[in-house]
Amino acid sequence: MKKFIAVGAVLFFACSTAAQTADQKKETLAYLRKLQNDDGGFRPTAKAAPSSLRATSSALRATRYFGGDVAGKKACLVFVKSCFDKKAGGFSDAPKGKPDVVVTSVGLMALVELKAPVGDYQAPAIAFLVENAQRFEEVRMAAAGLEAIRQRSSKNEAWLRDLGKGQNPDGTFGKGDGLARDTGGVVAAVLRLGGKLAKPEGVVKALDAKQGKDGGYAKASAKGSDLETTYRVMRTYHMLKAKPARAADLGAFVARCRNADGGYGAQPGQPSSVGGTYFAGIILSWLTPRKEEG
């Protein structure tokens, strides 16, 4: 009984540490609104720049996680659709650009976030992903795109076989100080593709052991943790219905990435970006009990 009380107290403290105040949420939403351009799309940072589909997808989701709503959704949808190449079947980061796997998955996620019909894009986009996703990052993002539209592809089983080749005896992936990031990325991809994970308890134990002294998770050979790597690891925790043993420390790390403008940098002290703010928003949502996924 005492054990359950202690665990509950730790999770309560973690949630209270991670949660933003109402005023902080307003400041973060104001930061995100400033990133929207006149064409409806969003740019990566406060610095003037053309709209980016990657940035737009991140801004849409970040806005939801911080409890807001995007202005000018019609214009935003027009921008997202303008990045689709009908001939290739994929999305590019800007209109008339070159489509690639990662951005095609991002485009599908943006359509879903805007609650737009995906019927005209689904089949050609899946075909594009099947034909072009080869490297791990491409497969990882193809899995995310397929999950967003709740579809499978003819390559799912082949991708799962390739991903499974690198698994360690304890269920993890990777080695040394790159194990947490590799495990986070691969395990989430496996689960998103409909695969089953061997030894999930071994994965959680290993990730707990790899949590940094600063509370987050870092790339191999990096001096400190970053939100993007922490996001990858936290997505695996979330999909395994678990939380880090030091959840409060992780919440404190995310808080240190927050800047005076309301946005979040990839690491403490770094300038705010839409990507950093999205990663912070989704990590905080996973640390704070709520009904969500994205």
Indicate the SS3 state at residue 102: helix
- Residue-wise pLDDT for 98-154, tens only, equals 999 999 999 999 999 999 999 999 999 999 999 999 999 999 999 999 999 999 999
Q: Which two tokens stand for residue 206?
A: 């290993």
The reported pLDDT for the residue numbered 20 is: 82
pLDDT of 290 reads: 56
Given the structure tokens 């998103």, which residue do they identify? 192
Torsion-angle region of residue 67: left (phi > 0), alpha (psi -120 to 50) or beta? Answer: left
Question: For residues 56 and 286, what is the distance between their CA atoms, to the nearest angstrom?
Answer: 22
Range 242-249 average pLDDT: 96
Amino acid at 78: V
Structure-block tokens of residue 201: 């308890």
Helix (H, G, I), strand (E, B) or coil at 173: strand
Structure tokens at 270: 């770094």
Neighbours of 96 (CB within 10 A): 8
Per DSSP, the three-state class of 167 is strand
Q: Please check the confidence at residue 13 and state whether its pLDDT lies above 70.
A: no
Residue 118 tokens read as 């995906």
Measured distance CA(125)–CA(46) in Å, rounded? 31
What are the structure tokens assigned to 273, written together? 């970006």
Q: How far apart are CA 74 and CA 236, in angstroms?
A: 33
198 pLDDT more than 70: yes
As a whole-number percent, the residues of the chain with pLDDT over 70 amount to: 91
* Residue 270: alpha-carbon gap to chain centroid: 19
Written as one letter, the residue type at 34 is K
pLDDT in tens, 81-93: 999 999 999 999 9
Could you tell me which residues are beta bridge partners of residue 258? 264
Q: Which residues of 248-286 are buried (b: 16+ CB within 10 A; e: fewer)?
A: bbbbbbbbbbbbeebbbbbbbeeebbbbbbbbbbbbbbb
Token pair recorded at residue 130: 């099947």
- Per-residue DSSP letter, 198: S
Write out the E strands in the chain. Answer: 84-85, 90-91
